[in-house]
Each structure stands twice: as C-alpha cells, then as structure tokens.
C-alpha cells in the first residue's frame, strides 16, 4: 500500500512493530505527533482534503482498552490494532465518529492487546466471542502490519473462545495456512457490484470477495456473510436479487453448507 507521509508518536518506535514500520516506510517523511487522537494539522484541514488525508499513515499506542458488550455476532467489541481505513465507503460510521480524521491509525502495542484478550477469555466461565474488527478493516490493515498473522497464530494456540472480524477486502492469501484451530470466525461483507462501485469506494469487487470467502472456508475457518448495509437506491430489489443469484452461483458447496448469513 502507498502512503504520502507517516505521522507517529515517537514512543511507538520502542515497540517491535513500530520499528518494523519505520524500516518498511523509511523513505517517507516521518512527522512526530504528540497523540494519534489529536493531530492539529489534520483537524484544521478543510473537508475537501478528506481523500488526501487518507493517504497518510498514523502510528501510535492504543491507550483505551475498554470492551463494550455486544449482542450481534459477538459478546464484546474489543478495541484492537487499528482504527480507520484507507477506503472511502460513503456510509462508513468511522467518518461519523472521527469526521475527516477517519484515516488509518495503527497501534503498535499488539502484544499488550492480545495478552488482554487471551486473559479475558481464560478468566470467563463460558467461551466468549470477541469482535476485533469493529473499528477498521483488519484484512486491509494486515497488508501493512501482518497483525492478523500474529493474532491468529497466537490465539489459535493460546486463546479460549473465539475472535471474529468482518472485511470488504480479498487479500486473504497470508491467512490461509495459519493455525487458527477453528477459533477465528471470518465474515465477508457483500453488496451488489454496482453499489460497491458507487458507494464502497476503494474496496474489493464482489467476485473477489466471493472467491476470498470460499478460500477461507476451504482453509477451515468458520465463515459468515454479511449483507450490509442494504442500500435502498432506485431498483434496489433487482440489485439485491442479482446479488443473491451471484452468491448462489459463486459460493462453493462447502461455503453454502457451512456459512451463516446476517442482514442489516
Ligand atoms: S472498508 Fe469498512 S472501515 Fe473502511 S471505509 Fe469502508 S466501511 Fe469504513
């Protein structure tokens, strides 16, 4: 992935991931910041700069680790290794939350975050499911950090309960041979291709997403499909009927048998 500049909290370079990013993006300008939460230079930019701002990478240390109860597909939303994204879905709730500062922020203290998740899972009397992808797209993030590889291998070995995350991207190749041991639920978000093209800007196409979820299912991950958000543009019934037909034709037999489906 290409970026224009890196804004970073200097303390992030004391973490292995921070140093790895410094090495990988060493040719870019590195601009020190006090906090990833408040970058004055960005806050002052006009909204018209939104697209350009998303071409910066922000690196910091996550300080908030509060889990929020959730009863959709998990027990808790757990803040994890990134927030924001380089894509530009027009409905993205991150834009409502962070306004024009919905750029990709990476948090380098992944060991600390995963330690907490593993500890929480072990201490609970019943198996819990933790949603780790509610603030960003981890498959996209993984192309920069390799964090999913780190997370899935370690949780597969040490974790109790399950992790889950949704995605709109197809770069699953590095995940296929990991030791997930069935503890990581992969959810692919889909929409009709014309909606992806006009509204989910910068994400993977429908065919690529279908192919990716088939591959994850084949690799033994529990997989789900998410048709969300359903967007009521003119002719939406035909578009969504077409989507269901494409899913019927494109999903593998195994995926059709095993997957679960959520509509929002
Ligand atoms: S892919 Fe997800 S996180 Fe990224 S802009 Fe779209 S909805 Fe937001």
Domains and their CATH numbers in the chain: 5-263 (3.80.30.30)
Within 10 Å of residue 163's Cβ, how many Cβ atoms?
Answer: 28
Average pLDDT over residues 107-132: 96
Omega of the bond leading into 12 within 30 degrees of 0 (cis): no
* Structure tokens, 71: 């009863």
Angle at 226 between CA 124 and CA 98, to 5 degrees: 75
pLDDT at residue 32, rounded to an integer? 97
Residue whose CA is at the smallest distance from ligand 1 atom 2 = 137
CA 207–ligand 1 middle distance (angstroms): 18
* Structure tokens, 51: 């697209």
Q: What is the CA radius of gyration of the chain?
A: 19
pLDDT score of 99 more than 70: no
Beta-carbon contacts of residue 168 (< 8 Å; ≥ 6 apart): 87, 89, 137, 188, 189, 200, 203, 204, 209
Average pLDDT over residues 185-190: 97
Q: What percent of the chain clears pLDDT 70, i.e. is strictly above it?
A: 97
Cα–Cα distance, 240 to 197 (Å, whole number): 15
Pocket of ligand 1 contains residue 199 by CB under 6 Å: no
**In testing the pocket of ligand 1, which one of 88, 92, 187, 199 has its CB within 8 Å of the most ligand atoms?**
92
Atom of ligand 1 nearest to the CA of 93: 8
**In testing the pocket of ligand 1, which one of 77, 81, 87 has its CB within 8 Å of the most ligand atoms?**
87
Pocket of ligand 1 contains residue 168 by CB under 6 Å: yes
pLDDT level of residue 76 (50, 70, 90 thresholds): very high
pLDDT at residue 94, rounded to an integer? 76
CA 193–ligand 1 middle distance (angstroms): 16
pLDDT level of residue 42 (50, 70, 90 thresholds): confident
Give CA torsion, residues 91, 93, 94, 99, to 10 deg. Answer: 70
Q: Is residue 105 within 8 Å of residue 144, measured between CB atoms?
A: no
């Amino acid at each position: 992935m290409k970026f224009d500049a890196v804004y970073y909290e200097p303390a992030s370079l004391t973490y292995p991931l921070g140093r790895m990013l410094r090495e990988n993006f060493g040719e870019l300008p590195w601009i020190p910041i006090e906090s990833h939460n408040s970058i004055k230079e960005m806050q002052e930019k006009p909204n018209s700069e939104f697209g350009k701002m998303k071409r910066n990478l922000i690196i910091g240390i996550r300080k908030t680790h509060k889990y929020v109860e959730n009863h959709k597909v998990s027990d808790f939303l757990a803040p994890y290794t990134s927030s924001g994204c380089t894509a530009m879905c027009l409905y993205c709730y991150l834009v409502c939350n962070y306004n024009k500062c919905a750029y990709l922020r990476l948090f380098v203290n992944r060991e600390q975050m995963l330690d907490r998740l593993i500890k929480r899972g072990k201490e609970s009397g019943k198996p819990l499911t933790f949603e780790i992808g509610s603030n960003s797209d981890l498959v996209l993030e993984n192309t920069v950090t390799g964090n999913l590889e780190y997370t899935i291998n370690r949780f597969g070995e040490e974790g109790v309960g399950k992790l889950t995350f949704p995605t709109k991207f197809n770069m699953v190749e590095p995940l296929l041979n990991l030791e997930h041991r069935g503890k990581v639920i992969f959810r692919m978000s889909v929409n009709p291709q014309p909606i992806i093209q006009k509204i989910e800007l910068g994400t993977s196409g429908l065919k690529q997403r279908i192919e990716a979820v088939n591959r994850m299912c084949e690799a033994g991950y529990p997989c789900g499909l998410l048709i969300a958000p359903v967007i009521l543009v003119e002719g939406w019934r035909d578009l969504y009927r077409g989507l269901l037909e494409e899913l019927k034709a494109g999903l593998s037999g195994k995926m059709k048998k095993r997957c679960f489906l959520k509509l929002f």
